[in-house]
Structures are given as structure tokens and as C-alpha cells.
Structure 1
């Protein structure tokens, strides 16, 4: 989700800067501008003295300015902290039955799941990344398929064996997975 938010924010900021900068540049170069445009020509300033002091005496002005700036600061802090958040899950909480619970290192579960998925017939390599929350992890699996590998058998084996073993051993009710398949690059074989 954060990647989508980053792209949208970057796109919006770029679009706004491009439109406003282009319009101000066109006005400064003496191009004809519509009547509603706030700048009229080369000698015009961005904010006149009257514009700067227009709402200063109004009771609503300063609370509105402070509220808008506070919202912008909160959104900027949220965005900054979201950048620092880990994409990988560091640990998974396992119900040990004694009420205390236990923790399982995320990298250990990723390694075991990747090794088991990589040992399936038709799979050259498997990379696993755990995401989500400690009590509800999700797996992102990338399978590198051999030329003779069948995707349906690989997905069935991953679901029925590797993911089921990981789910059972970690005591999870469910372990949703997003699987991406990629073919191994290989040279064409010549038949003589």
C-alpha cells in the first residue's frame, strides 16, 4: 500500500508543480492568459501587499491556517514513519497452548518454506517473504520454474505441502500466499 501512496503523492506533487510552474512561466514570458488567472503580466507579483493582509483581521483566518498546517504536518509524519516500517515480518506469534505463546523468527519460517518449495519437481528456486502482522502473517512466494515444470503441479504442491506444513508447524489458522511464477532462462536445445 505504501508504494501506491508514494506513487500517488509523487504524481500529484509533480503535476501540481508542472501546471503552476508552466502557467507562471507562460505569464512571465508575456503569453496571453485567461481573465480568471491571478497574474496579469511580466510586472505582476505573486502576492501583492493587499493579498498578504486581506484576511488578517478575520477571526477564522489564523485557526484555519493553523489547522491546515497541523494536518499537513501529521500527514507528512505518517508518510515518513511509513517509509521506516519494515516490509518483512520479523517474528510470528505461535500459540503454544500454555497461554504465554512463543515467537518464531520470520526469517527461519521463510527459509524452511523456501527450501521446501524449492525442492518440488519443476521448481528451480523459491524465495519467500513474510509480510503482514505477527498474529496474521502473509507469504509472498516467487517460484523460478524449470523449462519442464508444470505451474499447476507447482501451485498444488506449494499449497498442499509447503504452505500446509508451515501453517501446521506455526499453529496458524491460515497462511494466505501470493505466488509469482517465473521461468528459468535457458538456451534452446538443438535437435540433430
Structure 2
């Protein structure tokens, strides 16, 4: 899975948060008189800045336009966070003129989860299809028990499960990421 967007989000939000925290802290300190009583009661904008804004009629409209652009960028970023990249359905016909056959991604996930879930030692399987309908990618999270043969499990996923899925979808390949996770040994129930 590509973690670059998540890393960029965290880095950007950390930097923005730090800048806003410093600016807010400085404003609060100024208002409380940390820089002297004269500065605490002084206007935020100096006479030079107010005069500059008054002499140029474009200043306040330009400032308002910049604020609107920043608000729209923030809204676009916020909406992008809601997109999961999950595929809702797969197009099975390569040529739209020949017809349109769509297969539910939920059905595809169910089939691969059921098949891999029957492999020896597997406790739980979660599958996700991401990307686009024309170029889906498969993400598998497989939880297995202590008695599972991990090498055999991996081999079966690579040589049986995923190739069967590709054949069913009539695709040469489906890029797949498999995460194998050992689950703790289950404790037998205690009898009192």
C-alpha cells in the first residue's frame, strides 16, 4: 500500500499546526501583556499597514480572494480524505461497445475471503479492492494460527487463490498485497 499520501498529510498537518500554535500563542501572549502593556493595547495593524491598505483599493478584495482560495483548497483536501479508493464494482467487458457487465466488488471480496478462509490454519481473512474498476488492486489481510504452515499458506495464496481470482475476472493479473498476521494462541475456557 502506498503510504506516501498519509505521510504527506501528517507532515503538512504537523507543520500547519505548529505555525498556527506559534501564531496563536504569540497573539495570546501579546494580548496578556507579555511584550509590554503598550503592545497589548495597541492595534494589530500598524499605521503604515493601514495606510497601505487604504491607499490601494485592490488590497482588501485581494486578501478576500486569497482567503476564499485557501478555504476552497482546505475543502478539497477535506473531501479527499473521505475517499477511500475502494472499488464498488468491476467492469468485465474490455470494450464498452460490446456490452457492459459489472461485477460487485463485494461479491469478489466474498469469494476470495471464503477461499482463503478455508486454507489450513487461517483464522480470518479481510479483502479490499482499491484503485479503479478497470485496474483494480487487491489487499489481503490474513490472520493465521500457531499451527499454520506460513510458507504453504503464502504459496497457496500466490499460486491458487489470486490466480483463480484473475481467471474469474478474465485478467492477466491483479496487483496484490498480502499481509499475514499471527494471532495469539486461544486460551481454553476456564471451568470454575
Q: TM-score, normalised by structure 1?
A: 0.78
- What 5-or-longer segments of structure 1 have no aligned partner? 34-38
* 1:113 lines up with 2:112 in the alignment: yes
- Structure 1 stretches of at least 4 aligned residues deviating more than 6 Å after TM superposition: none
17 and 77 in structure 1: CA distance in 2 versus 1, 3 angstrom threshold: closer
- What 5-or-longer segments of structure 2 have no aligned partner? none
Aligned partner of 1:46 in structure 2 is: 44
* 1:18 lines up with 2:21 in the alignment: yes
Aligned partner of 1:148 in structure 2 is: 147
1:106 to partner: Cα distance = 0.2
What CA deviation, in whole Å up to 9, does each residue of 1:74-133 have, x standing for no partner?
313322332443543110111277722411100000000111111112322211011110
* Separation (CA, whole Å) in 2 of partners of 1:62 and 1:105: 52
* Separation (CA, whole Å) in 1 of partners of 2:150 and 2:40: 65
* Separation (CA, whole Å) in 1 of partners of 2:135 and 2:34: 59
Q: Write the mapping of 1:44-123 to structure 2, written as runs, cut at 5 A.
A: 44-48=42-46, 50-58=48-56, 61=59, 64-65=62-63, 67-95=65-93, 99-123=98-122
Identify the range of structure 1 (59-68 vs 73-82) with the bigger mean alpha-carbon deviation.
Answer: 59-68
180 and 52 in structure 1: CA distance in 2 versus 1, 3 angstrom threshold: farther
Q: TM-score, normalised by structure 2?
A: 0.78
Alignment coverage as a number of residue pairs: 184
* Separation (CA, whole Å) in 1 of partners of 2:5 and 2:88: 18
